[in-house]
Amino acid sequence: MFNNLLVTGGCGFIGANFIRHMLYDSDFKGRIINVDKLTYAGNPENLTGVAEEFDKRYLFFRADICDAQAMAKIFDDCRIDSVCHFAAESHVDRSIAAPDAFIQTNIFGTWQLLEQARLRMDQMVLFHHVSTDEVYGSLGETGLFTEHTRYDPSSPYSASKASADHLVSAYFRTYGLPVTISNCSNNYGPYQFPEKLIPLMILNAITGDPLPVYGRGTNVRDWLHVTDHCRAIREIMLGGRRGQTYNVGGNSEKTNMEVVTRICKIMDDSLPALEDRKPRTDLITYVADRPGHDLRYAMDFSRLREEMGWEPVETFETGLEKTIQWYMDNHKWVDRVKSGQYRQWIKSHYGSLTGRA
């Protein structure tokens, strides 16, 4: 069992949900040490209240996972015995515009953490690496990705994650580092930075701004509520076979148009009408397609179901309604993210900012 769990990227969307899940909703009794560089996607306000409530069991360090000295000190000072590695540059469109940071953090940074763990092999119980279904490339109209699907990434983001996955597996085979890997489909839920499809559409639909749909909106993603992903990661960390990969999915394939029109319908039913009483679907604007845009993702997660009995709890319908409600209820978080005020707070507490917001 692990006691001193290093969570990297814990101020991002999934990392923050995972820290909350472990501290509030699980029987984990150890300490969480959150290391985050606080790029544009890292928002300490995703963890408001956590440090106060868990002052002995939660520690935060602003640091870059690529910084060997800083990582070595944290591993030693905090007697790290396990890692759950989320930290990454995570947005495909940004990776197309500027791949540099993706190569640096996702590949070099992952290698740096693996080295720190390898140098302390005798104290390491587990290194869990959080990855994506995008490493498998694109499906056609039918079929599912399994853990045996050949890697075939399309974007600099997915290629950098694929590279990191290979390094993690190599450290298991070569050095016997105890690792597990999860490859998950698209997440949605609270605290997601509004550059990704679902939060962007929700926030624009609230204010009546255009809803930009790439191409014809026919690309398909498999959606999973973030709390289901966090439960899956915990199960894999506790019961997963070392050296093994586990697919995590939502059984919830939707075209992008289905997602956007569903958001519009829920919001038309619960918010005041737009000007001229027009439906929010009128805000949909078709824009240029993403280069190398993967057509379809869908996951076979039978390994995780059979070995650990994991299933998603939220359906897309229940999860989406809760998510929309969360963004409507959390005005302060939304306003501070949209206005960039969370970045000013980081600057006043931690000094210089990193990355373009």
Q: Give residues 219-258 in contact with ligand TYD (rule: CB under 6 A).
A: 219, 221, 256
Cβ contact 183:132 at 8 Å: yes
- Residue 247 near residue 303 (C-beta atoms within 8 A): yes
Kindly give the interhelix angle for 110-119 and 68-77, rounded to the nearest 10 degrees: 40
C-alpha separations of 91 from 97, 241, 310 in Å: 10, 30, 27
Q: Which of 20, 129, 196, 225 binds ligand TYD (CB under 6 A)?
A: 196
Does residue number 154 form part of the binding site for ligand TYD (CB under 6 A)? no
| Total residues interacting with ligand TYD, rule: CB under 6 A | 12
Binding to ligand TYD (CB under 6 A): which residues in 69-98?
Answer: 92
Applying CB under 6 A, the span of 21-29, 33-41, 49-57, 200-208 interacting with ligand NAD comes to 33-41
Tokens of 137: 């490339």
Residue 256 near which of ligand NAD, ligand TYD, none (CB within 5-8 Å, type-dependent): ligand TYD
Q: Which of 109, 153, 189, 312 binds ligand NAD (CB under 6 A)?
A: 109
Output 147 or 268, the one with its CB closest to ligand NAD: 147
Residue 102 as a binder of ligand NAD (CB under 6 A): the answer is no
DSSP 91-121: -HHHHHH--HHIIIIIIIIHHHHHHHHHHTG
**The only residue of 28, 60, 75, 86 in contact with ligand NAD, by rule CB under 6 A:** 86
Query: Which x/- pattern over 153-192 shows residues binding ligand NAD (rule: CB under 6 A)?
Result: --------x----------------------x-xx-----
Strand partners, 179: 127
| Contact status: 295 vs ligand TYD (CB under 6 A) | no
- Tell me whether residue 42 or residue 283 sits nearer to ligand NAD (CB atom): 42
Q: For residue 314, give the nearest of 252, 356, 260 by alpha carbon.
A: 252
Strands laid side by side in the 244-248 sheet: 58-62, 31-36, 4-8, 82-85, 126-132, 179-184, 244-248
Residue from 95, 132, 245, 252 binding ligand NAD (CB under 6 A) = 132
CB 4 within 8 A of CB 33: yes
Is 343 one of the binding residues for ligand NAD (CB under 6 A)? no
Catalytic residues: 133-134, 157
Residue among 65, 38, 49 at smallest CA distance from 130: 65
CB 197 within 8 A of CB 276: no
State the nearest-atom distance from the C-beta of 303 to ligand NAD, in Å: 17
Structure tokens at 337: 């993210």
Binding site for ligand NAD (CB under 6 A): 8-9, 11-15, 35-39, 41-42, 64-66, 86-90, 105, 109, 130-132, 161, 184, 186-187, 193
Binding site for ligand TYD (CB under 6 A): 92, 186, 196-197, 200, 212-214, 219, 221, 256, 290
